[in-house]
Amino acid sequence: MTLADAAMQSVTGDLPDDRVTCWTLGEGQPPLFVEAKEGAFATLEDAVAWVNGHRHRLDELIARHGGVVLRGFPVVTSEDFGQVGACFPPYTGGYQGGAAARRAVANGVYEATQRTGDQRIPIHQEMFYLRDYPRRIAFFAKKVAEEGGETIIADMRKVTSEMPASIRGKLEKLGIENVRNFAAKTGSTQETRLMDKRGWDFAFYTESEKEVEEICARRHMRPHWHEDGSLTVFNLEDAFVTHPGTNERVYRGGVHIAHFYRGSYDNTGQAAELRQQQKFPSGAYLGDGGELPPEEDAQFQQLVDRFTYSWPWHDGDIMILDNLLTGHGRNPFSGTRATEVALLD
């Protein structure tokens, strides 16, 4: 669902401060926009002081609305974004073994992704394939693409509550088996079009197999080394997680993006061909190694799509999401796009 800024609905009382206005794009729909009035903050220091001063209220609003967008604040550089992000507790679990190619660009600030503009990134919760994950994630629109490239979000509360009983029953009973593949050491920190071609040295930030195995043990993954030096990791996780603040049980996993794992993200057909060659194809499976029947697979995708939202982004926007209650993704784009992330707790 795509909504224009003109559809905004004023929200009163969330932040009674005459320097900002609050609004949403639809009743009960994430996120909450917190827009600075013109001239409200003369400097970045003023803005950071405001965020720090309203931290506890922002925490409450992020949980209530699934996320907030700070718009119109004087944030321009990666370092600026890092200072705003530093108002919140950092995620200290690290990104070793993460699925996306991601390089640090400033203190606590990373590339959002190296995925090329023609690829749509489906809705997911950050690090959904690991037991240890950031409780919140922040995005910074350093430069909006000339066309497309919106960071999209999905209401995972609604996805969970509207999930058909047949799908929920399987997920509750079996859990989710995550399988991910990495190429042999490449010595490169540059992503290729094919996710599974990324070297395990890039993914784990080390050239030591022993250290990889230690990381896997710490993150509840089982490594399998192949004769060519490539790596497959496995881990079994619950499909529903209890939110630590609200006690809600919320779906967390990648079963709904089975089509993505099958290679739909790459329109050249190379990803699907590579998957056919893998001994253990990458994917998010039911805990017994099976998959949802085709009709339920399609039904699950349609459910997530129904509660997925996008809107035009502005340069300088910062969005802070509850990483369990709200999934995120990205629309394809053309032109130049610079989006950065910070992993938070």
Please report whether residue 125 resides in a domain. Answer: no
Residue 163 lies in a domain: yes
Residue 153 maps to a domain: no
Task: Tell me which amino acid residue 196 is.
Answer: D
219 domain-assigned: yes
Is 262 within a domain?
yes
Same domain, 165 and 273: yes
- Shared-domain flag, residues 178 and 110: no
Do the Cβ atoms of 113 and 121 come closer than 8 Å?
yes
323 neighbors 129 (Cβ within 8 angstroms) = no
Residue 59 lies in a domain: yes
Residue 86 shares a structural domain with residue 190 = no
260 and 286 belong to one structural domain = yes
Supply the range of the domain harboring residue 11.
5-93+105-115+134-146+311-344
Give pTM, 2 decimals: 0.93
CA distance 74 to 327: 26
Q: Are residues 15 and 72 in the same domain?
A: yes
| H-run or E-run covering 142 | strand 136-143
Q: Provide the domain count of the chain.
A: 2
Tell me the two tokens of residue 235.
């881990």
Residue with tokens 């009743």: 27
Structural domain includes residue 190: yes
DSSP states of 221-277 as a string? Answer: -EEEE-TTS-EEEEEEE-SEEE-TTT--EEE-SSGGGHHIIIIIT-TTSHHHHHHHH
In tens digits, what is the pLDDT along the chain, a chain of 345 residues? 444 444 566 665 678 889 999 999 999 999 999 999 999 999 999 999 999 999 999 999 999 999 999 999 999 999 999 999 999 999 998 888 887 767 788 888 988 877 788 889 999 999 999 999 999 999 999 999 999 999 999 999 999 999 999 999 999 999 999 999 999 999 887 766 788 888 999 999 999 999 999 999 999 999 999 999 999 999 999 999 999 999 999 999 999 999 888 877 777 888 888 888 999 999 999 999 999 999 999 999 999 999 999 999 999 999 999 999 999 999 999 999 999 999 999
Q: Residue 237, CB half-sphere, CA atoms under 13 Å: how many?
A: 25
Give domain status of residue 244, yes or no: yes
Which residue has 């802070």 as its token pair? 320
Read off the CATH number of the domain in which 261 is found.
3.60.130.10
Same domain, 21 and 138: yes
Sequence-ordered list of residues with C-beta below 8 angstroms from that of 210, at least 6 positions apart, any chain: none
CB-based contact 43:74 (threshold 8 Å):
yes
Provide the token pair at 249: 């049980």
Instruction: Identify whether residues 299 and 319 lie together within a single domain.
Output: no
Residues 140 and 195 in one domain: no
